[in-house]
Structure 1
Amino acid sequence: MNWYFPTPHIETWIIDKSHLDHYQHVNNVAYIAQQEKLAWAHSQALGLSFNDYQKLDRAMVVHEHKVKYLQPCLENDIVLCATWITGCDNRLTLTRDFQYICKKRQSTVYKAQTTFVCTTLSTGKPARMPEVFRDIYGSALIRIEA
């Protein structure tokens, strides 16, 4: 696969009728929902679960999405969904990049970048990342060569 960056976290997404819009293409909100699932799967693979977020009273919440829909996906397409942590200031923000490749076409169909902000789960107010977030997310940060 022609991934944008090395060592992606990859999950497979099989497109079914529930993902389609009236054009019979994958609906734009389905791509975003898949991003959420992928980010959680990656966090869990790194060792952070929602239970950890609750115990720490902290959460990484979406601040901004930048998305590009490059090619439509159709029912029964198999899409390889990848994510990387491409930014982490170890204080407040974390950035993830996403790339989806249609397995049959071997081409990128979707790419996105999401910025997350650390908040207090109980109040929604911005808060510094706890040490475990800094350690786990910081160690997963990939270095992007300019």
Structure 2
Amino acid sequence: MEWALPNPFVIELQVTPEAIDAYQHVNNSEYLRWVEQISWAHSEALGLSLERYQSLDRAMVVHRHELDYLAPAFVDDVLQLATWIVACDGRFSLTRRFQLKRVRDDKTLLNARTRFACVALSSGRPKRLPDEYQHVYGGALVAEPVTES
């Protein structure tokens, strides 16, 4: 697969009948579920599990999702979903980028971006990123190419 950015974290998905909507393609809510799934898988691969979040009394909660649906997926399609951390301000937020591709034709079906904000689990109030988050997520940063407008 050729990806938009280097060194992606990738998971493979197979579209099941439960993901299909009345239009006979994957329902848009399923893409969002997959974005959440890979976000957790990547965080865990980096060493930040749910248990670690809980012990630090911090959570990265969604502030904003942007999902660009480019083409549909269908039952039994094999897909690969990639993610990258493209921004981490070292204070309160980080941003992930996502790209979903169909394996059989290498077609990009979805490009997405999610901005997360750090909050205390105990209060739900904004809190600074713990040093561990800054180190782990900051160390996984992938630079996005600069585009001219």
Structure 1-normalised TM-score?
0.98
Write the distance in 1 (CA, Å) between the matches of 2:85 and 2:92: 14
**In structure 1, what is the equivalent of residue 90 of structure 2?**
90
**In structure 1, what is the equivalent of residue 7 of structure 2?**
7
**Identical aligned residues as a percent:** 44
Measured against aligned partners, the alpha-carbon deviations of 1:36-75 in whole angstroms (never above 9, x if no partner) come to: 0100000001110000000000000000000111000000
**In structure 2, what is the equivalent of residue 107 of structure 1?**
107
Aligned residues: 146
Q: How far did residue 105 of structure 1 move?
A: 1.7
Unmatched runs of 5 consecutive residues or more in structure 1? none
Deviation beyond 3 Å, 4+ runs, structure 1: none
Unmatched runs of 5 consecutive residues or more in structure 2? none
- SS of the equivalent of 1:96 reads strand
Write the distance in 2 (CA, Å) between the matches of 1:144 and 1:97: 10
Q: How far did residue 144 of structure 1 move?
A: 2.1
Write the distance in 1 (CA, Å) between the matches of 2:12 and 2:75: 14
Structure 1 residues 66-85: aligned runs within 5 Å: 66-85=66-85
Q: How far did residue 100 of structure 1 move?
A: 0.3
Write the distance in 2 (CA, Å) between the matches of 1:122 and 1:12: 34
C-alpha RMSD over aligned residues: 0.6
- SS of the equivalent of 1:82 reads strand
Write the distance in 1 (CA, Å) between the matches of 2:13 and 2:58: 29
2:32 corresponds to 1:32: yes
**1:52 counterpart letter in structure 2:** R
Q: How far did residue 35 of structure 1 move?
A: 0.5
- SS of the equivalent of 2:79 reads strand
**In structure 1, what is the equivalent of residue 139 of structure 2?**
139
**In structure 2, what is the equivalent of residue 43 of structure 1?**
43
